[in-house]
Structure 1
């Protein structure tokens, strides 16, 4: 046992903490149930790091620990507080600078450094006062509130708040156009602007740390770039078009020609056409009850719902261009789990009505059948004489083909392989419309996927 710990005292030792690894590495463990040993951190003057987890040196007792155990706990607790109080440092060569304008709820980036602005921020024209007193339009890079808070919190942007005070008379402050903002001030002033809530920012920051590209679905201004529409144009059959044009008398004609419908015998078999009945036609004739999402009644309600699409999410592997964003991979709804109830069928239907249809899942590519000749062992090449090559059957066939070309017909090309139909079960599982709901419960985010599928669109045979 360490001699300095045999006589515990209430004072913290003055010796600086070092990050030297212990001699016995076998006692360290990466198990999650172990506690952090904060005494293994660097001193507060250096940059703090997260230590490895270690095993506890004692088990809790019902009557309380000994003085030595309490001293070890106090020592670790003080080391933890000293580590958390360490000042975060950033490099002046990598930090960007921005100015927060409360009147327009935007942060003007004056100095942009780093790769963050390849998918963050947008260009907007603003009126700038010139030196001669005239105003002119100038495009500048601006950040939304969630983008500015995220960069300020991670230490990539140093933000100032726009102020009307004049600092030009003070030495060294001629280029300053406001007052510096802390992280707490950025949260207090930017949360609540442009429909941004603390839950939406937490989801935004969580996805950005994972590498996703997150943008707004509804543009906050006319200069914000939005992706193109994802709606897939569906071809309507000609008979359905004719039926919609002449729906009034077509229904009367069908009722007059067709026999009376019997609920107990929905399939009517004719004595002359019963041999043409197949499984597909039988299943279609048995679908006499209206079904599908188009049959749901539309309810006009004045109650505001929290289920509104707020973010477009792109995968890290998706090529993204900020000026012309591609169609999003996911569309996200952010709600507060403490106040928002479960979405009703009408709320989900309203979301699916404005969502574009996703493309069908591509079928699996089948490998072409391997020929038996490919599996045969390759024969070693041999050197043949020109006379032997000329007398071979292949040479004779080519010679006769050149002399009498009209005797040989062109070989018809192989018919193309028919395209594989998509698997209906995979299509029903993925759904034709997808929405992601992020429920935030006291900073704990859970993602739920809702998809819309329709069984009547897929013949099961």
Structure 2
């Protein structure tokens, strides 16, 4: 009996005439119920999203004739684009002559913006139309500059021709032979210490927007980059004198400042050994106990070596850096170019030689946190990225009596001044020592070329002995 009740036995009632017409006019979607799959999140839907235009997608039954037609049309369009003739504008094309004896390209007609940061001016003796010799200045390009401009279509180059034809009207005045890109690669690469690896790195950097020059001038007329500012090691003598004066000033200040300060305690004993306080901390004691020297100032073992491949070859200037090719500023970087398959890793002496000519890097800026903003106060971004209220900026521009007193105190000796400047130093944010350790004091950039693949590495001179953990 229970089994009979579990089985459904309901029968559909016969519809009347009006109800049958309404059933026919109603849509079938209402009977199926709501589509709950539309409410599912996009991440849980079992459908692969289609991003971008798809000309073909694999199907189980195979590709159709329309898909094959679309693929063939796209392939033919690509081939037609690659087969198109390269055209250049006459307003941006320069004309020059390749001189194999000089390994230079003399530019007769410089045009376009590509000539703004390449080439250098050299005085040469030239034959005038009347047959006399006269010294004139002309623009010359190095081999890597000539190949790069020829390859990108900015320079039409001819090779210097020395054969003299008889002036009988049979031959015209021939000044050179037009050079192709293949001929420029063959004749220019291999001269003036230019290898294929170095040219690939040069072209790669130029396409990125860098201004690239030689680290070592190839001749006396090549412009030399400006010198780096002197480091702290070069100013060691002035630094020692500064320490002596600061020690003497602090000693005198320790004697006379209690006499002129407001909160003076007559029962406090007078200390005259303030200048020895720097020798009573833990860092000085640990430095005194070291018997193994540390740091990069310790000379390394010197031994005779052959010419090192790790010598800076290019000077790099960032695109925002103001660059003048007649008087280039100090480079932003100096790059070494080596072959990855034939050159081993640099040794300690080779890296030290690069670091000796590199400038000291400035300390990384401390991390600036945005202060809590006050409602109703307008804020402005400063150069460091911190929010500064406009009221504080206007307050700084207004002269107050406290500023006048501070200016008068600046005219007095340092030992008569109050010690109110100590809290401001405590509020300054310290530089993260791990950021200093990661950046290093000096850097060396090495570009390796492995069968046309360029990889750029950075070697940093660590400053582990200057950190608080040492």
TM-score range, shorter chain: 0.5 to 0.7
C-alpha RMSD over aligned residues? 4.1
1:36-435 aligned at under 5 Å gives the runs: 54-58=54-58, 80-166=78-164, 174=173, 177-230=175-228, 232-234=230-232, 235-236=235-236, 277-363=280-366, 411-413=405-407, 423-435=432-444
Paired residue secondary structure (1:308): coil
Using the TM superposition, give the Cα deviation of residue 101 of structure 1 relative to its aligned residue in structure 2, in angstroms: 0.5
CA contact (8 A) 2:143 2:191 kept: yes
Q: Distance in 1 between matches of 2:351 and 2:320?
A: 29
Q: Distance in 2 between matches of 1:409 and 1:446?
A: 56
- The separation in 1 between residues aligned to 2:64 and 2:161, in whole angstroms, is 58
User: What runs of 5+ residues in structure 2 fail to find an aligned partner?
Assistant: 1-48, 242-275, 379-401, 410-419
Alpha-carbon distance change, 56 to 127 in structure 1, aligned in 2, over 3 angstroms: same
**C-alpha displacement of 1:274:** 11
Mapped to 2, the partners of 1:132 and 1:369 lie a distance apart of 81
The 2-side partners of 1:146 and 1:138 are apart by 24
Gaps of 5+ in 1: 1-26, 31-52, 242-272, 377-407
Q: Provide the residue aligned with 1:392 in structure 2.
A: none
TM-score by length of 2: 0.63
Distance 1:356 1:60, change over 3 A: farther
Cα offset, 1:135, TM superposition: 1.6
Structure 1 residue 437 displacement after superposition: 0.7
Name the CA distance, whole Å, in 2 between partners of 1:142 and 1:274: 63
Structure 2 residue 457 is matched with structure 1 residue 448: yes
Separation in 1, partners of 2:403, 2:83? 88
Which whole-Å CA distance do the structure 2 matches of 1:143 and 1:238 have between them?
Answer: 44
CA 285–341 in structure 1, closer or farther in 2 if over 3 Å, else same:
same
Query: How many Å separate the matches in 2 of 1:362 and 1:69?
Result: 57
Report which of the two has the higher share of helix. 2
**Structure of larger gyration radius:** 2
Contact kept, 8 Å, 1:29 with 1:55, in 2: the verdict is: no
Give how far 1:361 is off.
Answer: 3.7
C-alpha contact 2:440 2:460 (8 A) present in aligned 1? yes
Distance of 1:315 and 1:275 partners within structure 2:
43
Structure 2: distance between partners of 1:275 and 1:326: 41
Report how far residue 435 of structure 1 moved. 1.2
Distance in 2 (alpha carbons) for counterparts of 1:184 and 1:29 = 41
1:84-109 superposed Cα distances (whole Å, 9 cap, x missing partner): 33221111222110110010000001
TM-score by length of 1: 0.64
Change (3 A) 1:347 1:60: farther
Instruction: Tell me how far apart the structure 2 counterparts of residues 236 and 274 of structure 1 sit (CA, whole Å).
Output: 22
